[in-house]
Amino acid sequence: MNAPLPADTAPRTDWTREEIAALFALPFAELMFRAASVHRRNFDPSEVQISTLLSIKTGGCPEDCAYCPQAAQYDTGVKAEKLMDVEAVLTDARKAKEAGASRFCMGAAWRSPKDKDLDAVCTMIEGVKAMGLESCVTLGMLTGPQAQRLKGAGLDYYNHNLDTSPEHYRHIISTRTYQDRLDTLEHVRNAGLNVCCGGIVGMGESAADRTGMIHALATLPEHPQSVPINALVAVKGTPAAQAAALDAIDFVRTIAVARIVMPRSMVRLSAGRESMSQETQALCFLAGANSIFYGEKLLTTPNPETDADKALFARLGMRSMPLKDAGH
Ligand code: SAM
Ligand code: DTB
Ligand code: SF4
């Protein structure tokens, strides 16, 4: 895996929309062959990085993200809770490690964290790191100094998604701008944190929007080290849940194009696996997805049972990625 890479896989940040649209339009077999070729030039295609998610602060969020069950203004049945105690979070992290996760990701339903909230989150990060796990948090918008504080606590990854194309964005969120998101990503990058940034498909966006979303990700100043591609989890009460379900092949195409244009990033087959067949998931791995969330819950919605995922891995002859490679 450490042999020099052929020049054609050197990461480019100057992709044009036309080039990306042309990849989406390839015959499926051709697209899959290209994506799988890029995947195996950069990674062992049998290895998948495994992260476990925990919602450390659930619900009651003031933002209006149309997909999100945690937005206070939608009636979704999610109750607003306080920030969890550090000890309770670390107990869950220990269980995740025992179950085989290499990274523990903590999510909070905030627009942005208050500096005093960061005290507790930093203690959580230190505890997770002390267990030998990688750490990731997603807390909303950050200032530069906040990103630096998280880095100082030993944080490995910060998740902050672009979510959709710049054009479709206004149909999805009104309480913060695309530029706000780009600013947070800049603060995270400048603090020397690994960036985890992707989006959601299946929110009624057009094919051109899927092109626009991948284009926005692939033309950031540096490719995100981790690119989560979420299939919308349609939660009753959220506006996005009214969108027609996304065709599974279009989802696989999105993964394949992400793999081709961001060859050295980890591409995460993220939310939405619960309602996906194992065969569709297998196509996603063939298309170059090489990380997943493992554990029976995402933040507030179900994820496949761990036994089902063990069976899937056995069925496909796949294994968990050792920590040294998962830090890609
Ligand atoms: N509040 C913070 C923020 O928005 O940045 C962090 C948590 S937020 C839940 C993290 C990400 O989860 C969102 O950016 C979105 O991409 C994803 N997400 C939320 N609800 C989802 C859903 N129903 N289906 C798929 N992805 C979802
Ligand atoms: C990401 O891109 N997907 C994860 C993680 N980052 C934080 C969250 C998915 C949430 C799905 C809906 C829920 O469980 O509330
Ligand atoms: Fe709040 Fe994040 Fe959900 Fe948006 S995605 S409503 S910011 S928790």
Q: What percent of the chain has pLDDT over 90?
A: 93
Q: For ligand 1, say whether the CB of 118 is within 6 Å of any of its atoms.
A: no
Looking up tokens 């913060």, which residue turns up? 176
| 24 contacts 261 by C-beta, under 8 angstroms | no
Q: What's the pLDDT tens digit per position in 192-201? A: 999 999 999 9
The bound ligand whose nearest atom lies closest to the alpha carbon of 298 is 2
pLDDT of residue 2: 43
The bound ligand whose nearest atom lies closest to the alpha carbon of 232 is 1
Q: Give yes or no for residue 288 having a pLDDT over 50.
A: yes
Q: Give yes or no for residue 325 having a pLDDT over 70.
A: no
- The Å distance, Cα 221 to ligand 3 centre, comes to 25
pLDDT of residue 171: 95
Instruction: Give the residue numbers marked as catalytic.
Output: 61, 65, 68, 105, 136, 196, 268
Q: Give yes or no for residue 65 having a pLDDT over 90.
A: yes
pLDDT of residue 4: 45
pLDDT of residue 7: 46
Q: Can you read off the two tokens belonging to residue 18? A: 């036309």
pLDDT of residue 9: 53
- Per-residue pLDDT band for 327 (boundaries 50, 70, 90) equals low
- Per-residue pLDDT band for 322 (boundaries 50, 70, 90) equals confident
- CA dihedral defined by 225, 230, 236, 242, rounded to 10 degrees? 120
Report the DSSP beta bridge partners of residue 266: 226
Please give the residue that has the higher pLDDT: either 6 or 31: 31
| Range from 3-17, 158-172, 199-213 carrying the lowest mean pLDDT | 3-17
Q: For ligand 3, say whether the CB of 63 is within 6 Å of any of its atoms.
A: yes
Q: For ligand 1, say whether the CB of 176 is within 6 Å of any of its atoms.
A: no
Distance CA 248, CA 279 (A): 10
Name, in order, each residue with C-beta under 8 angstroms of 230's C-beta and a sequence gap of 6 or more: 161, 198, 199, 200, 201, 270, 271, 272
Q: Give yes or no for residue 5 having a pLDDT over 70.
A: no
Residues found in the chain: 328
Q: What's the pLDDT tens digit per position in 94-131? A: 999 999 899 999 999 999 999 999 999 999 999 999 99
Separation in Å, CA 186 to CA 170, 192, 227: 21, 10, 16
- Amino acid, res. 258: A
pLDDT of residue 320: 86
Q: What's the pLDDT tens digit per position in 76-97? A: 999 999 999 999 999 999 999 9
Q: Give yes or no for residue 185 having a pLDDT over 60.
A: yes
- Amino acid, res. 53: L
pLDDT averaged over every residue in the chain: 94
Name the residue with the closest Cα to ligand 3, atom 3.
Answer: 68
| 293 contacts 303 by C-beta, under 8 angstroms | yes
Distance CA 76, CA 68 (A): 9
- The Å distance, Cα 62 to ligand 3 centre, comes to 8
* Alpha helices, H only, the chain: 17-24, 28-42, 86-99, 115-130, 144-152, 178-190, 207-218, 248-261, 278-286, 306-316, 323-326
Which residues approach ligand 2 with their CB closer than 6 A? 53, 69, 107, 138, 159, 161, 198, 228, 230, 233, 270-271, 298-301
- Residue among 53, 57, 64, 70 whose CB has most ligand 3 atoms within 8 A, to mutate: 70
pLDDT of residue 172: 97
The bound ligand whose nearest atom lies closest to the alpha carbon of 74 is 3
| 219 contacts 46 by C-beta, under 8 angstroms | no
Q: Give yes or no for residue 324 having a pLDDT over 90.
A: no
Q: What's the pLDDT tens digit per position in 135-164? A: 999 999 999 999 999 999 999 999 999 999
Q: Which atom of ligand 1 is nearest to the CA of 68?
A: 20
